[in-house]
Amino acid sequence: MIRITGGRVYDPANGINGEVRDLCMDGGSFVESVEGGRTIDATGMIVFPGGVDVHTHVAGGAINFARAMTPEDHRRTQAFIRTKTRRSGLGGMAPTTFATGYLYAGMGWTTVNEAAVPVLSARHTHEELADIPIVDKTTLTLMANNEIMLDQLENGEYERAKQVVAWYIWAAKSYGIKAVNPGGVAAWKWGKDAKQLTSPIEGYSKLTPGTIVTQLAQICEDLGLPHPIHLHCNNLGAPGNISTTIDTLKHLEGRRAHIAHCQYHAYGGDDWDTMCSETAQLADYFNAHPGITTDAGAVLFGDTVTITADGPWQHLLYKLTGRKWGNLDVENETSCGIVPYTYRPSNLVNAVQWASGLELLLLIQDPWQVFLSTDHPNGGCFWRYPEIIKLLMCADFRQECLKQLPDKIKGKIRLAEIDREYTLYEIATSMSAGPARALGMPKKGNLGIGSDADVVIYEEDEDVERMFGHPRYVLKGGEVVIEDGEIRETPEGREFLIKPACDPGIDDFMRPLFEECYTMSFENYPVELERIEHAEFADCLGSTRS
Amino acid sequence: MGGKVSCTLGEVKQRADFIVYWGGNPAECHPRHFTKYTLMQKSKFLPRGRKDRTMVLVDIRETKSAKASDIFLQVRPGKDFELITILRALIKDQNVSDEAIADTGLTREVLDDLVQRMKSAKFGCMFFGMGLSMTRGKHMNSAALLTLAAEMNAFTKFVAMPMRGHGNVTGADVMMRWQTGYPFGITFNRGYPRYNPGEFSTVDVLVRGDCDAAFIIGADPGGTMPQPAIDHLKRIPTIVLDPHVTHTSKLARVHITTAPQGIAAPGTAYRMDEVPLPLKPPLKSPYPTDEYVVRRINEAIMAKPFWLPDGSQPQMLTAQV
Amino acid sequence: MSLQVIDNATCTFCGCVCDDIQLHYDETRIHKANKACVLGTAWFLNHTVEHKYPDALIDGKKASLDDAIELAATLLHEADMPLVYGMSNTTCEAQKECAALADQLGGLLDSHTSL
Amino acid sequence: MPVSFHLKRQPEVPLEAEVLSPDRICQLSNEEIRSLTVYHGKRQLPLGEFFDVEGERSNELEIHGNLAKVRWIGRAMSQGSVTVHGGVGMHLGAYMSGGQIEIHGDASDWIGAEMKNGLIRVHGNAGGQIGAAYRGARAGMKNGTIIVDGSAGLEVGMRMRRGTIVLGGPARDFTGLQMLGGTIVLLAGAEIRTGAWMKRGTIISLKPLTMMPTFTPATDYSPTFVNLYSKHLSLFGVQLPYAAADGRYRRYAGDSSVPGKGEILVWQPNV
């Protein structure tokens, strides 16, 4: 039992904007009142719901590949020393599992969404998630290049495709689906890509990326997934890709959707020399369509390692940078590529990317629609979020940063003309309330009675980056996990999953198709429920769990 | 800087029309590799199965696997690194002299043909075994082949992967990466993981006599390592966990018999392509599992005083240099 | 007595980790391993539930499991530079305990890969 | 007055003693020096447990004893000098950016790994990975000079970017592996795969080498820079032949597999 008293509370989901309120928690949830227990005096402090990361890559084959590829970064990065009860770990571009939990909790984030899980190695992802302490987790299954599913769409078998998707979600014990470069990764398996939404995909006669986008979004709606389609559009990172992105959004019209890391999809220009920001166009679309959400995928200058299921893009990046390249294609399902990268302010392309991420966060008016993310580790590491918060809250600081960009940037970006500054209320929306709502997690991202008692308490500080980087207290499930910058407790987090309704005959349908393209036994493929540590079921919309 | 470009075995099964085995003998060491994953399978992309695939075997001697191959290339012992480096040059149309090629035991005609086949493949895959990774040059030989595969992607789809032996060695590699950031050769003596193969790798540690106790599980260095390493294991307190009393058990202070994995111990094992698979043990062993025994040892140590003083800080980070 | 059957059992003898083996077994041993290769068959059929070895040995003499665990813990705890090595022929679950052991000991952690 | 250290207790396991560096010692009193922490395996112990220490507050260090198990001496030092009478363990002068190290005895692996500047002189034999990059790093030594009178091990100068390595004795395999720049001088040759995958840089060998197949002989000549280089190296007592009357250098270019623009010069004496 804990009572937090006297703090200025920011709880956008409940419309509370900086009012002084007391919070009580017991048994992991907020309650009306408690008798006894600890009291935390938060007088003069700022109280937020724990952060929710809607799009990150913290566990599974891809990030683990990145860890193996970057020993030089582990040697220089933040190290967490072993204590009697706490495991050691390394931070950096691709933190180890234990350190991932410490770092997220250390800046007040208490829920993370691992946004790319191939079903074939979902067991591996869950094993890693079990080793990430403190935070609660969800996972999204990679679907838009699954050949069994694509074959159904190619043949016009929508209902079958829906069943296949439901089967895969349950096999992976995941929370929803992620669509990466629809059709493009399947083409990459032949060394090709899919850039046009309306052209048939390599290896198919009719199927286009556009069809995949529309139908997959509809499948998510029909299955009642709490989180809508989570879409990584085609043509990521390419100059002039704004037209693809807008075209994709039009294919989604009328449906719910979450567009991942939109910064990477908002460029104009014809080539690397003429590449410029087209964020205004994209932001206008979002402003006119309140039903879709997005996360920024903001870029921060410095070293990182890029990992994405977008194999073709990574091969291009490898050729551009001449640095290390890792690639792992997963049978029938997806691919992933890994390339270490350094974003430099002096590099015109990087400068456009840096500005674009911030522009989107600032030009999309409603913070319930655009969320804080760096697409960790692609645009920058998640533990650098406080830097972004400072850039959003301090227009002067932004202007200062703009000065380090090359002169040629003039005319390519809009950032210099934007004077909007985020309020604390808007930050709380973008880092917690908004992503929780988009993920369909009613007990996250708010401080209402009955919700999960995940709280972060900041001591007010003129230096916003320091304030958000070093919370005074972090509570997870009603337990103090961080106090005065020290890790106090490292409880295990929970994993949320769904069981979408599924035709019982689907197993018989899947088996022969499965055996044709996979190399493991059909029976051994689905992740056993008992492997998920602290599994918690979420309900699908408009249906009760079957 | 090259890289590591790989895929799961199902991709090979479905797509690979060009398969190279380098320094490995799957016919005898991974008997089902051909039939289950690579050569014999039919798929929608390769409907005629074996007929739609070309297999090349590169080795220093004609092993049983040569029978399964379309092309057998006998490389002179110790010339693998040179041969792969020549191929890297040839795919980029760089000039290499006939004498230099002849020195590897092969001819220009053979290599030109190989390069032409590699480039015209739709999906190439190279597997390498211990004949490559354990001979002179070691990790650089593996790096050479991985780099060649990465560079081949300028022309067509190409991947490479090691043919790992020893059951779940891949699982150890994968798990250590997520828990420590490094795949092997790790020390925790400063309270956090540090990595340096050659310094913290077991053979080197034992031969130099750097450790003063050893805990050996699921391996038998007493039967496989060089004599100076074995001699050091005899000198220090060694603890062995194994389903059998092994060579190492015989020189150890403590041996504990455990249940064999997958036969009497449940859990997970990783395939060579890093796909995790569940174990389904049929038998009930009279012995406890490794997992149980190591957890008990961990608990017993937890009850003893902790070695690292409070307030210890990381000191060996290069960021501090 | 009729044999029990497990379908799609996983063989961990080599890196192929085939998971389509059909095992026929009774309380004491595995009698048949369908689909397994010659190496896998030998691996499955050579193990029995027989109490072939002592539970534990200390300095070559039979000892109880508890004594062996306590002595192992003491020896490792006293060492200045203990080594945790191997982990090829064991489960991931046991491997995780081994990593926890090396972390707790402040020792070295290494697998077969480094050879 | 240099601070002098005499090894009094032989470590049983590796002793990590990065505190044996002028930067760490130069401001400290004798007592403070003795209480600096070293790692005997995982145990944190005071330096005084292993060494008798005489003197204080100096950036000149003199160390006596068989230090084969003592690692990281002179790590990241930027000034002063370290002189060792006896052998030393791994990582001698790794990351150093200035000052000098002189070893009257043998050294081990990773001497001057990723060093930025300074001088390391070993009068005995050395191990492998001299001036190399640690695993995964893009570049090894960035500048400075390493001179080993005796032999060396594998991967000498791996991925070095600038600076000079001179080996009096023979080196083993992969000398100059993936070299990016700088110079390696081999007075007694090397085993195989010298210059493999080099991108740029120069390797000079006074003895015949087994060349990688991806190196092409270009010309036999007497390059003027060897003349200048020899004069520079004569400061360290190293002589390179350059007089046309004595012979010429055969220049090999490679490694064409990269493709790289490195060069290997092999001395061809007139007979």
> In 3-state terms, chain C is what percent helix, strand and coil (to 5)?
35, 30, 35
Averaged pLDDT for residues B26-47: 92
Interchain CB distance below 8 Å, B213 and C108: no
* Residues of chain C contacting D89 with CB distance shorter than 8 Å: none
Average pLDDT for residues A448-456, to the nearest whole number? 98
DSSP-assigned beta bridge partners for residue C84: B215, C109
**How confident is the model at residue B2, as a pLDDT?**
61
Which residue on chain B is closest to D154 by alpha carbon?
Answer: B137
State the pairing for strand pair A89-90/A79-80: antiparallel
**Residue at D211 is within a domain:** yes
Mean predicted confidence (pLDDT) in A123-131? 97
Return d(Cα A124, Cα A135) in angstroms, integer.
18
D 31-70 residues with CB below 8 A of C? 40-43
Contact A87 C106 (CB under 8 A): no
- What Cα–Cα distance (Å) separates residue A261 from each residue in A182, A233, A536, B142, D22? 15, 9, 27, 36, 49
pLDDT above 70 as % of chain D: 100
Residue with tokens 């200035």: D98
Q: Is residue D184 included in any domain, yes or no?
A: yes
The strand pairing partners of B213, in sequence order, are C82
DSSP H or E segment with residue D70:
strand D70-71
Amino acid A445: pLDDT: 97
Angle at D122 between CA D117 and CA D125, to 5 degrees: 130
- Long-range contacts formed by B36-42: CB under 8 A, 24+ apart: B36/A519, B36/B9, B36/C16, B36/C18, B37/A519, B37/B9, B37/B10, B37/B12, B37/B13, B37/C16, B38/B9, B38/B12, B38/B13, B38/B125, B38/B127, B39/B68, B41/B13, B41/B14
pLDDT in the model for residue A116: 92
CA pair distance D73, D46, nearest whole angstrom: 16
Residue A279 tokens, joined: 């964020």
Give chain D positions within 8 Å (CB) of A73.
136
User: Residues of chain B with pLDDT > 70: what percent?
Assistant: 99
- Integer Cα distance of C47 and C43 in angstroms: 7
Instruction: Say if pTM beats, i.e. exceeds, 0.90.
Output: yes
Asked if C115 has any chain B CB less than 8 Å from its own CB, the reply is yes
Whether residue D104 is contained in a domain is answered as: no
- The band of C1, judged by pLDDT with boundaries at 50, 70 and 90, is low
Q: What is the pLDDT of residue D180?
A: 97
What's the mean pLDDT when you consider all of chain D?
96
| Best residue in B275, B291, B298 for a mutation probing chain A (most A CBs within 10 Å) | B275
On whether residue D18 sits in a domain, the answer given is: no
Q: Give the pLDDT confidence of D26-69 residue by residue, as tens digits.
A: 999 999 999 999 999 999 999 999 999 999 999 999 999 999 99
pLDDT higher than threshold 50 for residue A11: yes
Question: What residues pair up with D262 in beta bridges, in sequence order?
Answer: D254
Q: Is the pLDDT confidence value at D252 over 90?
A: yes
The pLDDT of residue A69 is above 50: yes
Residue A314 three-state SS: helix
Q: Which domains does chain B have, with CATH numbers?
A: 9-162 (3.40.228.10), 169-306 (3.40.50.740)
Q: Which domain holds residue D197?
A: 109-269
Contact A87 C20 (CB under 8 A): no
What is the DSSP-derived secondary structure letter of residue A122? H
Domains and CATH numbers, chain A: 51-442 (3.20.20)
D97/D118 Cα distance (integer angstroms): 6
Rounded Cα distance, D24 and A214, in Å? 65
Residues of A in contact with D75 (CB under 8 A): none
Name the H helices within chain C.
38-46, 65-78, 92-105
By the CB < 8 Å criterion, does C115 face chain D? Answer: no
Predicted confidence (pLDDT) at residue A544 exceeds the cutoff of 50: no
Phi, psi values for residue A340, rounded to 5°: -65, 145
The beta-carbon neighbor of D137 closest among A69, A72, A323 is A72
Question: Following DSSP, what letter does each residue of A131-172 receive, concatenated?
Answer: TSBSSEEEEEEE-TT-HHHHHHHHTT-HHHHHHHHHHHHHHH
Residue spans of alpha helices (H) in B121-225:
130-133, 139-152, 169-180, 202-208, 221-224
pLDDT (tens digit per residue) in B264-313:
999 999 999 999 999 999 999 999 999 999 999 999 999 999 999 988 88
Alpha-carbon distance values, D189 to A49, A377, D127, D166 (Å): 67, 46, 15, 11
Q: How far is B263 from chain A (nearest CA, A)?
A: 16
> D138, D159, D200, D258: best mutation site toward chain A, by most A Cβ within 10 Å?
D138
Q: Is residue D62 part of a domain?
A: no
Whether the predicted pLDDT of A318 surpasses 90: no
Indicate the number of domains in chain D.
1
Closest partner residue to A524 among B6, B37, B278, by Cβ?
B278
Angle at A248 between CA A246 and CA A252, to 5 degrees: 110
Which residues of B are less than 8 Å from A87 in CB distance? 179
pLDDT above 90 as % of chain A: 84
pLDDT, one tens digit per residue, over D129-148 is 999 999 999 999 999 999 99
Nearest CA to A283 out of A300, A258, A262 is that of A262
For A164-174, the pLDDT digits (tens) are 999 999 999 99
What is the overall mean pLDDT for chain A? Answer: 94
**Distance (Å) from the C-alpha of residue D91 to the closest C-alpha of chain C?**
18
D156 CA: distance to closest CA in chain A (Å):
19
CA distance B211 to B237: 10
d(CA D76, CA D89): 16
Q: Is the residue at D199 inside a domain?
A: yes
- pLDDT greater than 60 at residue C36: yes
- C93 to chain D, minimum CA–CA distance in Å? 26
| pLDDT at A325 (0 to 100) | 85
C1 to chain B, closest Cα gap in Å: 16
Three-state DSSP state, D258:
coil
Establish if D100 belongs to a structural domain: no
Query: Does residue A543 carry a pLDDT above 90?
Result: no
What's the pLDDT tens digit per position in D152-172? Answer: 999 999 999 999 999 999 999
Q: Hey, are the CB atoms on A98 and B319 less than 8 Å from each other?
A: no
By CA distance, what is C105's nearest residue in D?
A: D42
Residue A153 clears pLDDT 50, i.e. is over it: yes
Instruction: Look at A71 and D138 and tell me if their CB atoms are within 8 Å.
Output: no
Are residues D134 and B196, on separate chains, in Cβ contact within 8 Å? yes
Chain-centroid distance, C-alpha C12: 10
- C66 and chain A: CB distance < 8 Å anywhere? no
For residue range D61-94, what is the model confidence (pLDDT) as tens digits?
Answer: 999 999 999 999 999 999 999 999 999 999 999 9
Mean pLDDT (whole number) for B205-218:
97
Q: How far is B2 from chain A (nearest CA, A)?
A: 5
Measured CA to CA, the distance from residue D143 to residue A353 in angstroms comes to: 35
